[in-house]
Amino acid sequence: MTITYTRIGEYPDLLGESPVWDAQHGCLYWVDSVGCSIRRYTPATQRFDQWKTPSVIGCVALGQNNTLIAGLSDGFYQLDLATGQFSEIMLPVPPNPEIRFNDGRIDRYGNFVCGSMGIHIQPVGELYRLNRQGEAEKLANGIRISNSIAFSPDGKIFYFADSLDQKIRAYEYGDGNQPLTSARIFAETAILGSAPDGATVDAEGYLWVALVQAGKIARFAPNGVLDRLIKSPVDMPSCLAFGGEALGTLYVTSIKNSGTGRIISRHPDGGYLFAIEGLGVQGIAEPRYQQSIVSAT
């Protein structure tokens, strides 16, 4: 089967991240982190929608009752898609202006797991789990850049990377209520020429990882062995999600300009969203956060 790449949209993001396919409504959400925007693409109608955010945004996840959960610079919020209003869920105490939230995802049990990063790449980032009762538990600290958050199909394995370590770790995750245990090095990406960025898991339990510095996308088997390495449509792919009618399309966000001056694409299509077809695999429908903290109006 031939692999094809399709550019989506009329303009690029500055820092595209966090693609999430909503299987119920047939649309893709993603964010422009430094552009302070949440974007939505509906393939069936070719429609695009956008919501501005009150600060830099790291990620979004599906919520209940026409809402999204968002990891903004200072904490977790709920977005009412109908009104565009953001409601505070959790802000770390004490606040730390030296960090911002980055990568995040809903686990297989309906909890929101999201990590932060040091603004100046200091090891001050933290990893939180927001449970279904609206309580936030700190799972880890001392992180420079939280990335590659993903879960095995059965929810028992948690994948995570501090990108600057150039290693993806796998943890025993239990039933979503336990501390992270039995950490092991799942895969090292330094030999592939890149730190790991965003990741997702397919229906066979293989982990797909954006290799942002190498312009490639890697697929790792459940035992950590590199299974496949494909070219990215641009030089700086940032995050991945399976979507489409049969969850057979791999959506890829990318970077044009990270806003810091450190990461700037040299590709003419840098920052665009892409759809990759013909991979011969399917993804898993993304879970929703299992409690709406603030009722939608």
Count CB neighbours of 48 within 10 A: 15
- Best CA proximity match to 149, nearest among 108, 211, 199: 199
Q: Are the C-beta atoms of 168 and 186 separated by less than 8 Å?
A: yes
Residue 245 marked in a binding site: no
Those residues whose C-beta lies under 8 Å from the C-beta of residue 5, and which sit 6 or more positions away, are 233, 274, 275, 276
Q: Are the C-beta atoms of 120 and 98 separated by less than 8 Å?
A: yes
Residue 144 marked in a binding site: no
Tokens for 105, please give them. 């995802």
* Active-site amino acid positions: 197
Phi, psi of 222 (to 5 degrees): -60, -20
CA 124 to chain centre: 20
Interatomic CA distance for residues 72 and 53, integer angstroms: 8
One-letter amino acid for residue 25 of the chain: H
CA dihedral 45, 250, 79, 44 (to 10 degrees): 10
Distances (CA, A) of 74 to 1, 100, 234: 44, 6, 30
Interatomic CA distance for residues 231 and 216, integer angstroms: 4
Interatomic CA distance for residues 180 and 236, integer angstroms: 30
Residue 223 marked in a binding site: no
Residue 228 marked in a binding site: no
- By three-state DSSP, how is residue 287 classified? coil
Residue 102 marked in a binding site: yes
> For residue 262, with 0-12 CB atoms within 10 Å meaning exposed, 13-18 middle and 19 or more buried, which class applies?
exposed
Tokens for 7, please give them. 């550019």
Phi, psi of 192 (to 5 degrees): -100, 5
Which residues make up each annotated binding site for substrate? 100, 102
Binding residues for a divalent metal cation: 17, 147, 197
**Residues contributing to the annotated binding site:** 17, 100, 102, 147, 197
